[in-house]
């Protein structure tokens, strides 16, 4: 987390000192940064808030494929060798503040500023690794493990001693899209997690680090030994 915060500050300093044309944009929840089929003519750098990337199939089915948090770039596909159309939609999950940078300005910055190019390349590599991890989880993990992983990622756990966090508001339908199951299954798993003390929720979801037990141990803690294990009570999907 500390490295990412430092990289974010360095990126903002480079963007401020490079003299490039950029706009500070504010997005309310559910507002679109861009939509699938739009001209890919800009890149966004998210400074505050959470967003999601969705795609819509020819038949009209929508799926959430990625969550975006502060410090991420959005729409970096615009930097492809040939400018084209957006292949996905980016929408704000919570109130967002983002820098909008024209494609031409972004390319010029990458050519002229070695420091920025190195940070951007680091971001692209880390993002590629996250995508691979998501694919592995989708292929090999059970649906309850995939849900636990998404909740932990949204809480941004990773450093010892981090406080318990409320995650941004997100619907069970969106969670179901992201892990490849149904809303009823997500509701079942969420109730299980709450009964086991892994999460709390009423209006918002609070995630406890004990939720890692679902991923790492595939078993419940001893204090819940009387409750059947998740693996024994949930159908593998």
Lowest mean pLDDT: which of 69-83, 156-170, 203-217?
156-170
Task: Check pLDDT > 70 for residue 107.
Answer: yes
Measured between alpha carbons, how far is 92 from 121 in angstroms, rounded to an integer? Answer: 25
Give yes or no: residues 100 and 120 share one domain: yes
- Check residue 47 and give its pLDDT: 92
Give yes or no: residues 19 and 111 share one domain: yes
- Check residue 227 and give its pLDDT: 44
Instruction: Specify the number of domains making up the chain.
Output: 2
Give yes or no: residues 13 and 113 share one domain: yes
Q: What is the pLDDT of residues 81-95, one digit of tens each?
A: 666 899 999 999 889
Which of residues 137, 165, 194 is at a domain's end?
137
Domain range enclosing 75: 2-137
Q: Where are the beta strands (DSSP E) in 143-203?
A: 165-166, 199-201
Which of residues 114, 137, 160 is at a domain's end?
137
Give yes or no: residues 111 and 155 share one domain: no
Three-state DSSP string of 65-129 = EEEEECCCEECHHHHCCCCCECCCEEEECCCEEEEEEEHHHHHHHHHHCHHHHHHHHHHHHHHHH
- Check residue 219 and give its pLDDT: 47
Give yes or no: residues 21 and 109 share one domain: yes
Q: What is the pLDDT of residues 4-61, one digit of tens each?
A: 666 667 887 777 776 677 789 999 989 999 999 999 999 999 999 989 898 988 888 8
218: CATH: 1.10.10.10
Query: Where residue 116 falls among pLDDT bands split at 50, 70, 90?
Result: confident
Task: Using alpha carbons, select from 67, 200, 209 the residue that is nearest to residue 133.
Answer: 67
As a whole number of Å, the CA-based R_g of the chain is 19
């Amino acid at each position: 987390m500390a490295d990412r915060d430092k990289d974010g500050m360095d990126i903002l300093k480079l963007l401020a000192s490079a003299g490039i044309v950029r706009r500070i944009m504010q997005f309310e929840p559910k507002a679109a940064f861009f939509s699938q089929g739009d001209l890919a003519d800009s890149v966004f750098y998210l400074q505050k808030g959470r967003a999601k990337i969705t795609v819509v199939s020819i038949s009209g089915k929508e799926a959430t494929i990625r969550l975006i948090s502060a410090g991420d770039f959005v729409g970096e596909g615009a930097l492809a060798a040939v400018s084209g159309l957006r292949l996905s939609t980016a929408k704000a999950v919570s109130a967002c503040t983002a820098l909008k940078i024209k494609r031409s300005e972004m390319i010029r910055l990458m050519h002229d500023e070695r420091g920025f190019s190195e940070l951007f390349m680091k971001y692209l590599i880390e993002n590629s690794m996250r995508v691979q991890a998501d694919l592995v989880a989708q292929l090999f993990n059970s649906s309850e493990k995939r849900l636990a992983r998404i909740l932990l990622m949204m809480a941004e756990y990773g450093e010892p001693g981090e406080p318990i966090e409320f995650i941004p508001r997100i619907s069970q339908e969106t969670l179901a899209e992201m892990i490849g199951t149904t809303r009823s299954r997500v509701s079942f798993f969420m109730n299980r997690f709450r009964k086991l003390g892994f999460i709390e929720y009423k209006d918002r979801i609070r995630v406890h680090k004990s939720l890692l037990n679902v991923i790492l141990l595939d078993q419940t803690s001893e204090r819940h030994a009387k409750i059947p294990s998740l693996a024994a009570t949930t159908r593998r999907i």
